């Protein structure tokens, strides 16, 4: 994970330098990698028992699409995860919107799930969000 975050941060700072003419401070870049690493570790420290308690599989013969939105200063990332009744992840989609409103992000994520369900002709779908 460290390497992925380091490369992503280097690329982000490189784009800031090339496209916006900003001077890059290597110590700020390193600090950003460290901060992002800690954020990722903290995000994954949810106990597996909590995950099992929160997520329930759909009824037999049905599918569930869980959606979420994560708002940041630069916009909102949205995602949809499609699972079957055996808890198997079948598809994952992500998208981005520059709108920073959390409600708008959740709506966009739900729309993404509906569009994917319609595109693939799925029936008996449950769409679930955390809000």
Q: pTM of the entire structure?
A: 0.57
DSSP the chain: -HHHHHHHHHHHHHHHHHHH-PPP-HHHHHHHHHHHHHHHHHHT---HHHHHHH--PPPTT-EEEEEEEEEETTEEEEEEEEEETT--EEEEEEEEES---HHHHHHHHHHHHHHHHHHHT--SEEEEE--
pLDDT in tens, the chain (131 residues): 678 888 888 888 888 889 888 888 888 888 888 888 888 777 766 545 455 557 788 998 888 999 999 988 888 999 999 988 888 888 898 998 888 888 889 999 999 999 888 888 888 889 998 86
């Amino acid at each position: 994970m460290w390497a992925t975050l380091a490369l992503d941060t280097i690329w982000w700072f490189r784009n800031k330098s090339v496209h916006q003419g900003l001077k890059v401070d290597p110590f700020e870049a390193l600090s950003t990698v460290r901060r992002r690493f800690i954020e990722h570790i903290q995000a994954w420290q949810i106990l597996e028992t909590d995950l099992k308690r929160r997520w329930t599989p759909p009824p037999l013969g049905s599918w569930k699409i869980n959606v979420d939105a994560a708002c940041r200063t630069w916009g909102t990332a949205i995602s949809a995860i499609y699972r079957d009744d055996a808890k198997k992840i079948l598809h994952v989609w992500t998208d981005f919107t520059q709108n920073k409103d959390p409600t708008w992000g959740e709506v966009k994520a739900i729309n993404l799930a509906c569009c994917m369900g319609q595109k693939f002709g799925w029936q008996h779908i449950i769409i679930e969000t955390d809000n």
